[in-house]
Chains A and B, each alone.
Chain A
Amino acid sequence: MSSIAADGLDVRVSTFSQVQTVAKYSFQNYFRARRFYAMLVIVALIGGLLTFAFAYFRPAGIVQGPALGFYGAGWGSFVTLIAILSAALFGGDAISSEFQNRTGYFLVPNPVRRSAIYVGKWIAALAASVIILVLYAGIVLLNGLYYFPGNVPVQFGESIVFAFVFIVAALAFMFAFSALFKSAAISIMMGVILLLIVFNVIDTVATVLAKIEPWYSITYADGIIANVLMNPFPAHFTPASGKFGIPTYVATIPEGLTIMAVYFVVTAIVGLWLFEKKEFTS
């Protein structure tokens, strides 16, 4: 350690505690910012509309059928969208904004490794996203308990865990994009477009035209979040039937979890590397 440490300064502050510090204050920044409340409003709107639709239309196949079907419709249909929006809003500009908004000039020129800043911000984004997911899960659960008192399928819990794994991977993916670009708007847009549109198009094209399983796609993997709420779990492969039929692939649970884990590891490494190399030149 440097021999020039000023009096009273603990220069042995650990990287782990610096990660905690960055996470704590980044989370505070999220928690006090408009986007967090915007996301809460989105979840409240989706939850409110679902609650209203179930109560007003009382669809027989959902509110009178097996509980699993209810959770499939209420949770499985929207959780991926909510997870992607959370990842985009909390992670899409987490790193690019350090460059574009010049907040990096406040944080980076300190005795802290860039990796500690990156990981701390990722943890803060994960915490904010988990709050959003938990809120939505709570809305679905309350509805579920109203229509199916005392009957919460174990698959709902599994689906929540898979959604958590997905948000972990999606945030790592978003952070990597955020580290790639210096424009916050571009990094958010690119991430959202890729996760909501491009990957799905590629999945479909690969399945229909090339007839190959889209094992490389995170949006293929996230299918397990909704599919685990189906009984029985869909077949891994369904061949095309008839002249205009198309084959379908469905990720198995181990396959989906593996793909998401690989996405997390690879994009985390790429994003960290990009952030370490990127220069504050503007």
Chain B
Amino acid sequence: MAEPSLEATGLTKSYGTFTAVSNLNLKIEGRKCVGFLGPNGAGKTTTMKMFTGLISPTQGRALVNGVDVRADKKKALASCATLIETPEIYPALTPRSALMMLSELRGVPKEERMKRIDEALGKVKMQEWEDKKVGSFSKGMKQRVNVASTLLSDPAVIILDEPSTGLDPRGMSEVRDIVKSLGNRLVFMSSHLLGEVTDVCEEVAMIDHGKLLVYDSIDNVTAKFAGDGGAAEIGFSRDADDSVVARVSKLDGLEKAVRTDPRHVTVRFKGGLPTQERLFSQLAGMNVGVVSFRETSTGLEDAYLKLIKETL
């Protein structure tokens, strides 16, 4: 059986003189999660819309499982579930009836529909609301139903455009867990949350100004572009006065130490993990009331900032 795939060949989308996506060439194949990163207006959603038939390319092709979406959307999306932006559901329908509609459209066998809907609603914790009209739901509740809709037909490919948009922290965490549990299929997920991408994806594609900057594993992208810098927030059990900040700022490898509030100091350092390990040890030995040490920048974040900055 062929591996699930997404492929953009010369994919371009222009609106008059503005080019949202420019000659994008990208081939993703296999059962894995690929994060799709880029700043606002970079062309992430436009690309995903071309993969799902919401808009048509000006040039080039978007292929899902080897089938051109523009030429035959029905065939291309036969085993592909999508969540683009924050869709609205017909307000007079209930989550159960809305999901039943999609189950029927997607050809889920009749005898399995109820079971799959129950499972999907269970995963997004919406069973309690399954027979209430969607029109009365909050944005987060609707998004949970939207996430459930991607789980119905057991698709080989799932395209998610910022799936945790509109969700509260618990909802975001639950969506992350759901995406993590979607093993054995290809998940292509855009997000502004680099931590989320690091947490759930193995590979990352970065786009800016409609152009693909890099597509590789997160480890490779981090190793290649992140450098050895880092940042962390140190928490104290009591107020950190000037003398404490001064002592911290003199630690070996530290570039900068700034008190962000009476009990927190943010530090920037160079030297990667060895420096981070040494700093942690020294801080513990200073006996100044350090109770936490939280890394605030990840390698992916550094790589992202470096790549995006370089394109400006």
Contact = CB atoms under 8 A, between A and B. Distances in A.
Given A103-B89, A111-B73, A3 B107 contact: no
Give the secondary structure class of A's interface: loop
B28 to A, nearest CB: 13
Interface in B2-18: 2, 4-5, 15
Interface of B: 1-2, 4-5, 15, 49, 52-56, 65-67, 73-80, 82, 84-93, 97-98, 100-102, 104-109, 112, 133, 146, 149, 153-157, 159, 185
A210 interface: no
A13 B101 CA distance: 13
B4 A280 contact: no
Contacts of B73: 111, 113-114
Given A11-B107, A102-B88, A111-B106, A6 B54 contact: no
Contacts of B88: 101-103, 105-106
Interface residues of A, number: 44
Interface of A: 1-13, 15, 17-18, 21-22, 24-26, 28-33, 101-114, 279-281
B130 to A, nearest CB: 15
Contacts of A109: 52-54, 77, 82, 84, 159
Closest 3 A-B residue pairs measured CB to CB? A105-B87, A13-B107, A109-B52
Given A28-B93, A111-B74, A280-B49, A2 B66 contact: yes
Contacts of A12: 107
B118 to A, nearest CB: 16
Contacts of B67: 2
Contacts of A3: 1-2, 65
A10 B49 CA distance: 25
A102 B104 CA distance: 21
A2 B78 contact: yes
28 contacts: A1-B78, A2-B75, A4-B4, A4-B78, A4-B79, A4-B157, A8-B109, A9-B78, A9-B79, A9-B106, A11-B79, A21-B105, A24-B101, A25-B97, A25-B101, A28-B93, A31-B92, A32-B92, A102-B87, A105-B54, A105-B84, A106-B149, A108-B54, A109-B82, A110-B106, A111-B76, A111-B106, A114-B73
A111 B5 CA distance: 16
Contacts of A104: 54, 87
Contacts of B87: 102-106
